[in-house]
Structure 1
Amino acid sequence: MYIQPFQAWLQEKGKGELTLQEYLRVVKILARWWETSTGKPFDPDQVTARDLHDWIGHMQTVVRLAPSTINKRIAAMKTYWSFLTQAGHFTLNPTDPVRIRRASSL
């Protein structure tokens, strides 16, 4: 999951402690959802844009999160995969086609 290197990367980028903790929490939330949905251990290399869209749908319809919370989680995921690609862990970024939406369109 690369949590420790991600945390160090966020600290190097000057992210505040609350932001850092929230980003790490969101990665763990996604990992738990993915493992439950697929029945496989979380592997960021296996996550697709379709998976991320399904996760967003889950947050909207099952968990019923506020649009602002969903957008914050999308932003955290985009940051996580930016780290993974910049650090050379992965070449494909499944968050590229995922967009943060205006609250009225969620």
Structure 2
Amino acid sequence: MKMVIAIVQKKDSNHLQSALIEAGFRSTRLASVGGFLSEGNVTFLIGVVDPQIPMVMEIIREHAQSRDQFVSSPAATDLGRSTMPVNVQVGGATVFVLPVEQFEQF
């Protein structure tokens, strides 16, 4: 058994959660905040048996798309300076797959 931990942008989270439910996967959804842009993320915890990993990864890949976004430099904003917006890639997913030694559900 594995624990899939998927960190996705908040914009993608509802579509991803719906797709996981539709495919029969249960998950726990946690609010989280990203480091660089300090924007809202959602972290999904998904317990799966080993043969299901490719299917879960494909669902995440389909529903957590990266996109370009113009943002101001967080450091300049914190110092009260305005800067020209910078084009950065946001979204997508960061996924970890960890072994699970034991699973209990009560």
Please give the range of the TM-score, normalised by the shorter of the 2 chains.
0.3 to 0.5
TM-score in terms of structure 1 length:
0.33
Choose 1 or 2 for highest CA Rg: 2
Q: Which has the higher contact order (CA 8 A, sep 6+)?
A: 2
Which structure dedicates a bigger proportion of its chain to helix? Answer: 1
Which structure dedicates a bigger proportion of its chain to strand? Answer: 2
